[in-house]
Structures are given as C-alpha cells and as structure tokens.
Amino acid sequence: MPQSYSPLSYTGLAPDAGFRRPAYLSQRVSLDSPATAVMTDFERVTAVTIGPSVSIEIANQCMIAAAIRLLLVVDEHQHIVGLITASDILGEKPFKHMQRTGETFSEILVSDLMSPQEELDVLQLQDVNRARVGDIVATLKYFGRQHALVVEAAGERVAQRLRGIFSATQIGRQLGMKVAPGEVATTFAQLETALNS
C-alpha cells in the first residue's frame, strides 16, 4: 500500500543566521589535547581522491574546490597508489619534469609528480589514540612533513585501511598558531619554543 507524504512548510531565514561547521574544523585544542581532536577522520569525512592519469591542472582545481592541499591518488579498484600535494603541483617539480621530458605544464599527469604508495610512511591508529596534539606536531616537525597519514588494521583480505590524515595547516588553525614542519624539535620545551617563535 503506497504511503502518503506531506510537504514541509518553509519559513524565512533569520538575518543573523550562521551555519554549522564540523566540530573538527572549529574545535580549539592545546598541545595536550588528544591527537584525534586534530585528525581528519575518514569515518566522518569523505577522502578526496583523484586518478593517476588526470592532469595536474585538474588536480589543482580539485584541491581549490575542496579547500584542501592533498589528494589521495587511487586506481580503478579504489586502492591508494600515491598522493599528490599542492606543493607538488605549485612547486619546482613540474618545471623539472618539463625540462626532463619536454612536455608542457598542461600535459603533466598526476602520476608524473605524485609520491607513490611504496614511498608513503604512515602512523598507526593505535599509536595516535594514545598520543597528544604536541606529539603529532613534534612528529611533523621532526620529519619535515606537512601531512601524516594514519592507518588502522582492516581485516583478513586487506592489511591496512587509511583511517585519517593530519595536516600541519589544520592543526595550526585549531591551535591558533602556525605549525611549520621542517624544524627538528626533540623536547617539549624545544617544541613550545618553535611554536611560539
């Protein structure tokens, strides 16, 4: 038996109306907050992906549209084959590639500049669950990274599943200060000094 549905009524939008933001985007944290408070969790947010045979111009447009600086590169089975960042596209990599191959900028593909899967380092979710924000900042700084991927055990057929990602830019927003990777900080005091300078 078909059900009957009723239309909802409209009301006017209030002049001072705002909008909801995901908690992870606006939540203020401290260096002692749980690390998961600054992780983009792919159980709550869909990962933005791109194929390896797409041009870097399209990849850059995708990043701009999604307001992100990293795309996961996936194959036809949705397996991660690499990642590409805004720095890969807007830095010196394209020019070196053009000098080496004679291609134009518009001919360069994601696969030409991406970091391949076999070169990607990851953090384990079980370690992240015990860590603090300061530990993640120290990790990014120590290894000179803008991003850190987080994996969890997946099951029998697949050993790992990408669970989330840390971004130095996002962490900086939530801390209310700039987080600049590349400076090696080995103690909490050095970390605080580096963050406050």
On the question of pLDDT at 50 being above 70, the answer is yes
Instruction: Please tell me the predicted confidence (pLDDT) of residue 3.
Output: 80
How far is C-alpha 84 from the chain's CA centre?
A: 10
C-beta separation of 52 from 82 below 8 A:
yes
Q: How confident is the model at residue 182, as a pLDDT? A: 64
Architecture of domain 30-196: Roll (3.10)
Contacts of 122 (CB under 8 A, 6+ apart): 148, 149, 150, 151, 160, 162
pLDDT by residue (tens digit) across 133-152?
999 999 999 888 899 999 99
Q: How far apart are CA 25 and CA 90, in angstroms?
A: 25
Tokens representing 186 are 């080995």
Residue 164 to residues 7, 46, 82, Cα–Cα distance (Å): 39, 10, 15
pLDDT at 178: 87
Interstrand relation of 160-167 and 147-153 (parallel, antiparallel or unpaired) = antiparallel
Average model confidence (pLDDT) for the chain? 86
CA–CA gap between residue 92 and residue 28 (Å, rounded)? 34
What backbone phi and psi angles, to 5 degrees, belong to 168?
Answer: -60, -35
| Confidence grade of residue 52 (pLDDT, cut at 50, 70, 90) | very high
What does the pLDDT look like over 126-135, one tens digit per residue? 999 999 999 9
190 pLDDT more than 70: no
9's tokens: 């009524």
C-alpha to C-alpha distance for 100 and 112, rounded to whole angstroms: 11
